[in-house]
Amino acid sequence: MNSSLKLSNRDRAVLMKAPFLAGLGNSALVRLMSMMTISTLPARKFVMREGETADAFYCVLNGYVRLFRLSREGREADIMVCAPGDTFAEHLLFNDNVYRCNAQTAEPATLARFDMQAVRDLAQQDPEIAKALIAAISRHLVGTMDCIANDRLFTAPQRVANYILSRCPVEGGSASIRLPFQKSLLAGMLGLAPEALSRAFSSLRRVGVTVRGRIIQVGDVQALKNI
Amino acid sequence: MNSSLKLSNRDRAVLMKAPFLAGLGNSALVRLMSMMTISTLPARKFVMREGETADAFYCVLNGYVRLFRLSREGREADIMVCAPGDTFAEHLLFNDNVYRCNAQTAEPATLARFDMQAVRDLAQQDPEIAKALIAAISRHLVGTMDCIANDRLFTAPQRVANYILSRCPVEGGSASIRLPFQKSLLAGMLGLAPEALSRAFSSLRRVGVTVRGRIIQVGDVQALKNI
DNA sequence: AGAGGGATTTGATACTGATCAATCAATCAC
DNA sequence: GTGATTGATTGATCAGTATCAAATCCCTCT
């Protein structure tokens, strides 16, 4: 793990557009950014572990981070996959001080680390920062509630279709998207075993979805919406 | 629906202990409470509907409120069941202004209603209120993430066991609890059809769980923890 | 206390997705 | 390039739950 205070331009752009920081005024921004640290992590590196003291939260600048919990027998269940711009563990600020799940990079990643206590202090002083926190946490909550509804309401092919649609240009007609990560990660996000994702893709062939590697071609976006 | 500004003593006690308001100083408390309205609703009454403009959030004072989403075919999926002390839709304050799910009383209920705009203004002025909001929303997020992990990691009998354990006095030995609501509501909370809940209970008989009406008797709490 | 009606349980069946194993494809190291 | 490693697909089977229908239980109301 390589830690530094320096930010690449690309990473800086992601950070500034992250829901947590977007919309902050200059002084709040400077205060937050001067206390964060940047680290570059290899793939499969643990960022935090369930049960550890929660003394920092993170914002993903590059790569993907998988949040998951383990069963007693060692089975893993993904709770959320964080993309560039997402923060995680930020909701422990005014709550518990113990991480409730594990976080692992799904590929080489760059993260901004924020010290809990420092941000807690800032949030108490600066209402703008408090508001940014509320927005970030609220956003997570919306996503998490959507996830429950998806799991409970839809079958595997439907969830896959929903995911594809969420990344398609809205219009009808045909479209082509590229998965930004491995299929096994997508499977986890959707609460599926990799085999089930594979079968879901192949069952979507009859509605005009073609998959080759990470490229997904959709013949008729509208048709996909009808299941 | 009967609206008023008056609070029974019992409802007031619940409100003051609600995570959202507990820990607030007197002036913040007064300001929030002077702008809320109380309503008493019959069972099965809709409090909000998916897609409506989100102009208020609520705190449950008495009874239970079910948050759920509908599929195109009309199937319902519960996202959360709110007990006395819980707030809901409060995470839309600094986000979307559209309700993302339906809310329906599961039985006659009393709710405190908070106008979004008014609380938004208060939160901007008063860091203490902002902090209370962060705590309330964070709490929800923790619960919702737990829910996903539970759904994905455990089978029906295990989820039922977890629920029972969560309401048992911690010690080992035997225990007896009373469900505070109908079994069909519990089924929804756990993402199960009522029939599946029933079968889960009966499968727990072999580890010493007896159910009669709303009373659940646990022979050996420790044994229940091992599955 | 008894009747009525909704809630729950039970049974039978179908479906969805997990799991295990084997094959195939793609990527990497050398 | 070639073998080795990792990721993805496919097939066969199984476990867990939904669904539908019928029987029974429990609660409330009178």
Quickly state the pLDDT bin for A95 (edges 50, 70, 90): confident
**How many angstroms separate the CA of B194 from the C1' of D20?**
13
**CB-CB: which of A100, A138, A145 is closest to B94?**
A138
Percent of chain B at pLDDT above 90?
84
Q: Residue B171 pLDDT more than 80?
A: no
pLDDT of B3 reads 59
pLDDT of A165 reads 95
Shortest distance between the Cα of B128 and any Cα of chain A, in A, equals 8
pLDDT of A163 reads 97
Q: Do B71 and A154 touch (CB under 8 A)?
A: yes
pLDDT of A182 reads 95
Where on strand D do bases come within 7 A of a protein Cβ?
A: 7-12, 16-21, 26-27
Shortest distance between the Cα of B129 and any Cα of chain A, in A, equals 10
Contact list in A for residue B94 (CB cut-off 8 A) is 131, 134-135, 138
> Which of B120, B124, B126, B153 is the mutation pick for testing A, counting most A CBs within 10 A?
B153
> Which of B99, B141, B146 is the mutation pick for testing A, counting most A CBs within 10 A?
B141
Q: Which two tokens stand for residue B126?
A: 């008063």
- Say if A117 is an interface residue toward chain B (CB within 8 Å): no
Task: Compute the residue count for chain A.
Answer: 227
Q: Which residues pair with A214 in a beta bridge?
A: none
Tell me the pTM. 0.93
Helix extents (H) in chain B: 9-17, 26-35, 116-125, 127-153, 156-166, 183-189, 194-203, 221-225
Residues B88-133: tens digit of each pLDDT: 999 999 888 999 999 999 999 999 999 999 999 999 889 999 999 9
pLDDT of A5 reads 58
Q: Residue A169 pLDDT more than 80?
A: yes
Structural domain boundaries in chain B:
2-153, 156-225
pLDDT of B173 reads 85
Quickly state the pLDDT bin for A1 (edges 50, 70, 90): low
CA-closest candidate to residue B36, choices B62, B66, B57: B57
Tell the CATH superfamily of the B2-153 domain: Jelly Rolls (2.60.120.10)
Q: Are A138 and B137 contacting, i.e. CB atoms less than 8 angstroms apart?
A: yes
Q: Are B7 and B110 contacting, i.e. CB atoms less than 8 angstroms apart?
A: no
> Which of A67, A148, A190 is the mutation pick for testing B, counting most B CBs within 10 A?
A148
Q: What are the distances in angstroms from CA B165 to CA B101, B103, B151, B169?
A: 29, 27, 16, 8
Q: Do B127 and A131 touch (CB under 8 A)?
A: no
The number of beta carbons lying within 10 Å of the beta carbon of residue B159 is 22
Classified as helix, coil or strand, B116 is: helix
Quickly state the pLDDT bin for B216 (edges 50, 70, 90): very high
Q: Do B134 and A123 touch (CB under 8 A)?
A: yes
What's at A136, amino acid-wise? A
- In this complex, the nucleotide whose C1' atom is nearest to the CA atom of residue B202 is C9
Helix extents (H) in B36-180: 116-125, 127-153, 156-166
Q: Are A29 and A12 contacting, i.e. CB atoms less than 8 angstroms apart?
A: no
Among A residues 68-87, those touching chain B with beta carbons less than 8 Å apart: 69, 71, 75, 77-80
Quickly name the fold that domain A156-225 has.
Arc Repressor Mutant, subunit A (1.10.10)
- In this complex, the nucleotide whose C1' atom is nearest to the CA atom of residue B187 is C8
| pLDDT, mean of residues B57-86 | 95
Shortest distance between the Cα of A4 and any Cα of chain B, in A, equals 30
- Exposed e or buried b for every residue in A187-216, given b needs 16+ CB within 10 A? bbbbbbeeebbeebbeebeebebebeeeeb
Q: Residue B172 pLDDT more than 80?
A: no
* CB–CB contacts below 8 A, A to B: 128
Ramachandran area for residue A74 (φ above 0: left; ψ -120 to 50: alpha; else beta) = left
**How many angstroms separate the CA of B129 from the C1' of C14?**
53
Residues A53-77: tens digit of each pLDDT: 999 999 999 999 999 999 999 999 9
- Say if A159 is an interface residue toward chain B (CB within 8 Å): no
pLDDT of B6 reads 73
| pLDDT, mean of residues A158-184 | 92
Percent of chain A at pLDDT above 70?
98
Q: CA A126 to CA A121: how far, in whole Å?
A: 9
Q: Residue B170 pLDDT more than 80?
A: no
Bridge pairing between strands A2-4 and A37-41? antiparallel
Q: Where are the beta strands (DSSP E) in A42-184?
A: 46-48, 56-62, 65-70, 76-82, 87-88, 102-105, 109-115, 175-178
Q: Do B69 and A153 touch (CB under 8 A)?
A: yes
**CB-CB: which of B93, B127, B151 is closest to A151?**
B151
pLDDT of B4 reads 58
Q: Do B145 and A144 touch (CB under 8 A)?
A: yes
